[in-house]
Amino acid sequence: MNDYRAEYRRKLITADEAAGLVKSGMSIDYGAICGFPWLIDEKLTQRAPELEKVIIRAENSRTHIPEVDPNQEHFIYNSWFFSKMERDYGDQGCCSPIPFNLGEGPRMYREWLKDDVDIVFVEVTPMNEYGYFNFGVAITRQKAMCDVAKTVVVEVNESQPWVPGGYDEAVHISQVDYIVENDKYPIAEFPPVPPTQADEQIARYIAELVEDGATLQLGIGAMPNIVGQLLIESGVKDLGIHTEMINESIMHLIETGVVTGRRKSLNPGKAVHCFAGGTRQLYRFMDHNPLLAGFPVDYTNNPYIIAQNVKQVAINSALKIDLRGQVCSEAAGQRQISGTGGQMEFTRGAYMAPGGKAFICLRATHRDKGGKLVSNIVPGLEAGDVVTVPATEVSHVVTEFGVVNLKSRSLWQRARLLISIAHPDFRDGLEAAAYQAKLITRGTRDC
């Protein structure tokens, strides 16, 4: 057996030296989510005055770019998915979103970006005895990035758990050019967001429709987390997991025995995912856990693979929906809030699955900046609103006032169904707007 420790020592450099590899005009790619290389990024930020027009593609940024580069003279920052910090970047004109479906990531690198990645910096586990670094809780598109980059730099982090995978969950030292050890910053934590009463009611409607043997995808946010708790209480049995993200809710479902994966039609017994976001407790749970199978995102999010799971259930959150059924989940007018993620892919894949169900969930209202109550079910989307899921793909829609299925319904039926789950204070106004827009026609006004 090869002893890779000598090779490791030869390739070991400091974070300052890694940041020093970057030259003006280069294209730099960071690992996704918990693959974000905090220490190298910190050192690169300190070099801002020395650099011009370095293009960075990343997400889940932790660097206050507007403070060091308010005019984008040094860094052109592009985000695959806006976090809270990146929303602030966007508000200050220092960050551009990259529109894409999450599952496209590996292909984008291997085809469209294959000649445009000068350096990739990615957070990994310590190397094992066979010379491999595991991507931990952020498999997504990391291997594809490493495959095409001119220079591969891994930032080793003891807090990154080793997660068993299907494929592309690790990179070998022979493919790595430089190694940095990060003993300063642990990988990011994403504590669960407390649910509102509306979230809890939405979750109750969904939990009632999840059958024994179903396979779950839970999206990001408070409501998907409370769904997991209600499923534990409901008595449902033998659930499976095929999802993008492993979160606290899924961990609890596995620990309580509600998720067994026994009845999964694809990858039975395995909780399939491509990344995780949660607390240290979740990351400890995932470390070397044989119940988990981490895959790259072009596997987990491929609608035709998702559709092979009998009774696949997809649960995703939206910002607003119009009376045609067009779903906006990522922007408020011209302001980017998050990203498309895998919502479109799982909505389609779950609907295609035998006995599958795809849920789009949203609170019926929100308060605007002035404190005014505003409906999230609207007559039509506004300029700048991104259609995350087109009307043709939408089936189940859930608010705290009920659940409806839009499939096979004409526009006037869709409008009426959506109005029925809007906040009561807005129903008359929505109906009047629907009639004026001829969504509800003369003959259907009293139907």
Q: What is the pLDDT of residue 64?
A: 66
CB within 8 Å of 199: residues ≥ 6 apart:
222, 223, 226, 363
Residue 21 — very low, low, confident or very high, per pLDDT cuts 50/70/90? Answer: very high
Residue count of the chain, please give it. Answer: 447
- The answer to whether 5-181 and 197-444 have equal CATH topology is yes
Q: What is the pLDDT of residue 83?
A: 83
Domain 5-181 is in which class?
alpha beta
32's enclosing H/E stretch is: none
In the set 59, 123, 155, 244, the catalytic residue is 244
Domain 197-444 is in which class?
alpha beta
Tell me the average pLDDT of the chain.
93
Q: What is the pLDDT of residue 441?
A: 87
Asked if the model's pLDDT at residue 230 lies above 60, the reply is: yes
Q: What is the pLDDT of residue 182?
A: 97
Domain boundaries, the chain: 5-181, 197-444
Distance CA 324, CA 306 (A): 26
List phi, psi (to 5°) of 98. -110, 105
List phi, psi (to 5°) of 343. -60, -45
Q: What separation in angstroms does the CA of 166 have from each of 170, 216, 270?
A: 10, 18, 10
Q: pLDDT of 391-439, one tens digit each?
A: 999 999 999 999 999 999 999 999 999 999 999 999 999 999 999 999 9
Q: What is the pLDDT of residue 332?
A: 86
Residue 193 — very low, low, confident or very high, per pLDDT cuts 50/70/90? Answer: confident
Asked if the model's pLDDT at residue 68 lies above 90, the reply is: no
Asked if the model's pLDDT at residue 317 lies above 80, the reply is: yes
The answer to whether the CB of 336 falls within 8 A of the CB of 93 is no
Q: What is the pLDDT of residue 157?
A: 97
Distance CA 359, CA 347 (A): 7
β partners of residue 81: none
271's enclosing H/E stretch is: strand 271-273
Distance CA 360, CA 317 (A): 6
64's enclosing H/E stretch is: none
Alpha helical stretches, state H, 356-446: 411-420, 424-436
Please state, for a pLDDT cut of 90, what percent of the chain lies above it: 81
| Rg (the chain; Cα; Å) | 23
pTM beyond cutoff 0.85: yes
Q: What is the pLDDT of residue 274?
A: 97
Asked if the model's pLDDT at residue 446 lies above 80, the reply is: no
Q: What is the pLDDT of residue 245?
A: 94
Q: What is the pLDDT of residue 36?
A: 94
- Examine the residue annotation and report whether 244 is marked as an active-site residue of this protein: yes
Distance CA 186, CA 136 (A): 13
List phi, psi (to 5°) of 7. -65, -40
Asked if the model's pLDDT at residue 228 lies above 90, the reply is: no
Return the minimum-mean-pLDDT range out of 63-67, 115-119, 213-217, 318-322.
63-67
Task: Say how many C-beta atoms besides its own lie within 10 A of residue 343's C-beta.
Answer: 29
The answer to whether the CB of 335 falls within 8 A of the CB of 91 is yes
State mean pLDDT over 178-200.
Answer: 91
